[in-house]
C-alpha cells in the first residue's frame, strides 16, 4: 500500500502531530510505503523509510495565510502526483481536492460557537483577526470534509459536530487518540520534590491558563466548597487572569501555580485526581495521560476524551460550569479505594498509541481494497 499523509506537523511533541507520527511509524513497521507531505516532521521517520515532501509556507507568522498557502500548494502537488498513492489521508483543512480519508481533530464551526472563542473574550484587532480566521476555516473545512470519501473523528463529540455541519454520519468513524503507556505509568513520587504539599488531597490541572478555553475558573470557584483540597496548576502564567482570581476567592494558599513544566508524568502521578472542564476540547490527550498514570479523572462532557472515562476510574459531569456537580465529583473520587489507580490504568490501556494506529491502518487497508476492486 502506498500511503500519503498530508498535515502541517508530524512531530512527537505536538498533539495532532503525535497522532500522525504514531500512524506513520506503525505504517512503516507494517511495510507500507509512506510519504509525508508536511511542513515539519521528526526526521527519525525518514530513517525508518518514510519519504518527506516539505511544504513550508512563506507566511509562517500569519496563521491565516499559512494554512491557506499550505492547502493551495498541497492541492497542486497531489494533482501532479495523481495515481501515485493508494490512500491519501488529510487532516482537516490541508486539502480541498478529492482524497480518500480526512482525520478531523478540530471543527471550527463548533469552536466559533464556544463561549471561550476569542471573538467573545478579546477586543480590538485581535478579536477581529480571530473572528476572520475561524470563519474562514469554517468554510475551508467544509470543503475539505465534503471532498473526503471517509472521515475519522477523534471523539464522539467531533463526530456529532461534523454531522451538524452536514457530513453524512455513514462516512464518519470514531477513532480516539492514544497515549504513551510507557511514558505515563503509575509510580510513587515525592510531592515535596515537585514543589507540592504532602499529606493533603491534591487535584491537578494542566493546560493553557492564559485564556478561558480550558475553564480553570470553574475549578477555582469550586475550591471554597472543598476546603481540604489543594490544586496544582501547570501552564505558562504570562498574562494569566487566574492567580488574581484565586486571590479574590481566598484560595491562593491552596492553589499551586507551577508555570510551564516538562515533568508532567511525575505531576500526574502525584495527584489524587485530574480535572479538565474545557469549554471546547475535541479530545484532550491529558485525560488519557492522567489515567495511564493511575490517576482518576473528572472531565466535563464537552471534553472529547470523556468517552474514555467510566465510573470505575473517574466522573463525567454534564455541565462544565456546574460547581456543585464538580464538588460532588471531587468528594466521590476522594473516597475511591486503593484499586482506583489500577482501574484508571486499565481504562487508558485500551487507548495506547498502538491500538489507535492499528485502527487507522484498518481504515486505510479497507480504502485501498475498495480502490483496487
pLDDT in tens, 276-309: 999 999 999 999 999 999 999 999 999 999 999 9
Rounded to 5 degrees, what are φ and ψ at 6? -115, 115
Three-class secondary structure of residue 3 per DSSP: strand
What are the DSSP calls for 221-260, one per residue?
HHGGGSTT-EEEEES--TT-SHHHHHHHHT-GGGEEEEES
137 in the same domain as 7: yes
Run of H or E including 315: strand 314-317
Q: Quote the number of domains for the chain.
A: 2
Task: Give domain status of residue 183, yes or no.
Answer: no
Regarding whether 343 and 205 lie in a shared domain, the answer is: yes
Burial 230-245 (b: 16+ CB within 10 A, else e): bbbbbbeeeebebeeb
Q: 132 with 264, same domain?
A: no
48 and 130 housed in the same domain: yes
Q: Are residues 204 and 284 in the same domain?
A: yes
Residue 360 lies in a domain: yes
In a domain, 135, yes or no: yes
Q: Is residue 185 part of a domain?
A: no
What is residue 60's predicted lDDT score, i.e. its pLDDT? Answer: 83
296 lies in the same domain as 343: yes
User: Are residue 47 and residue 143 in the same domain, yes or no?
Assistant: yes
Domain with residue 298: its CATH number is 3.40.50.2000
pLDDT at 61: 84
Same domain, 220 and 292: yes
Whether residue 159 lies inside any domain: the answer is: yes
pLDDT at 68: 96
Cα 103 to the center of its chain, rounded Å: 13
Residue 129 lies in a domain: yes
Can you point out the beta strands (E) in 33-190?
A: 33-38, 40-41, 51-54, 87-91, 99-104, 148-153, 172-174
How far apart CA 160 and CA 153 sit, in angstroms, is: 9
User: What are the distances in angstroms from CA 146 to CA 89, 139, 157, 282, 311?
Assistant: 14, 11, 19, 20, 37
| Per-residue pLDDT tens over the stretch 355-369 | 999 999 999 999 988
330 plus 365 within the same structural domain: no
Question: Model-level pTM?
Answer: 0.94
| CA-atom Rg of the chain in angstroms | 21
One domain, residues 342 and 361: no
Q: Are residues 6 and 130 part of one domain?
A: yes
Residues of the domain holding 313: 191-349
186 is a domain residue: no
Band the pLDDT of 373: cuts 50, 70, 90: low
Residue 56 sits in the same domain as residue 174: yes
Q: Does residue 321 belong to any structural domain of this protein?
A: yes
Amino acid at each position: 500500500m502506498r500511503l500519503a499523509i498530508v498535515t502541517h506537523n508530524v512531530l512527537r511533541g505536538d498533539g495532532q502531530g503525535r497522532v500522525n507520527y504514531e500512524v506513520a511509524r506503525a505504517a512503516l513497521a507494517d511495510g507500507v510505503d509512506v510519504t509525508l507531505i508536511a511542513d515539519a516532521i521528526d526526521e527519525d521517520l525518514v530513517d525508518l523509510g518514510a519519504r518527506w515532501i516539505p511544504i513550508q509556507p512563506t507566511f509562517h507568522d500569519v496563521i491565516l495565510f499559512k494554512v491557506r498557502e499550505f492547502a493551495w500548494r498541497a492541492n497542486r502537488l497531489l494533482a501532479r502526483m495523481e495515481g501515485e498513492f493508494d490512500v491519501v489521508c488529510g487532516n482537516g483543512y490541508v486539502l480541498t481536492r478529492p482524497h480518500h480519508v480526512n482525520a478531523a481533530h478540530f471543527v471550527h464551526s463548533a469552536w466559533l460557537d464556544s463561549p471561550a472563542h476569542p471573538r467573545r473574550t478579546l477586543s480590538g484587532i485581535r478579536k477581529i483577526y480571530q473572528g476572520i480566521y475561524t470563519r474562514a476555516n469554517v468554510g475551508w473545512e467544509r470543503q475539505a470534509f465534503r471532498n473526503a470519501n471517509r472521515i475519522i473523528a477523534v471523539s464522539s463529540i467531533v463526530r456529532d459536530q461534523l454531522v451538524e455541519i452536514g457530513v453524512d454520519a455513514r462516512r464518519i468513524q470514531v477513532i480516539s487518540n492514544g497515549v504513551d503507556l510507557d511514558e505515563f505509568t503509575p509510580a510513587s513520587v515525592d510531592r515535596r520534590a515537585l514543589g507540592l504539599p504532602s499529606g493533603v488531597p491534591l487535584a491537578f490541572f494542566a493546560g493553557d491558563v492564559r485564556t478561558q478555553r480550558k475553564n480553570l475558573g470553574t475549578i477555582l470557584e469550586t475550591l471554597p466548597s472543598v476546603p481540604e483540597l489543594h490544586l496544582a496548576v501547570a501552564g505558562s502564567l504570562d498574562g494569566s487572569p487566574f492567580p488574581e482570581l484565586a486571590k479574590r476567592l481566598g484560595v491562593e494558599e491552596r492553589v499551586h501555580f507551577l508555570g510551564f513544566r516538562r515533568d508532567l508524568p511525575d505531576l500526574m502521578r502525584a495527584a489524587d485526581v485530574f480535572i479538565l472542564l474545557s469549554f471546547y476540547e475535541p479530545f484532550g490527550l491529558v485525560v488519557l495521560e492522567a489515567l495511564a498514570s493511575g490517576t482518576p479523572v473528572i472531565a466535563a462532557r464537552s471534553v472529547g476524551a470523556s468517552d474514555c472515562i467510566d465510573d470505575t476510574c473517574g466522573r463525567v459531569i454534564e455541565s462544565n460550569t456546574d460547581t456543585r456537580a464538580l464538588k460532588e465529583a471531587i468528594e466521590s473520587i476522594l473516597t475511591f479505594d486503593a484499586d482506583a489507580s489500577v482501574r484508571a490504568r486499565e481504562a487508558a490501556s485500551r487507548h495506547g498509541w498502538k491500538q489507535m494506529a492499528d485502527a487507522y491502518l484498518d481504515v486505510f487497508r479497507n480504502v485501498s481494497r475498495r480502490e483496487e476492486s
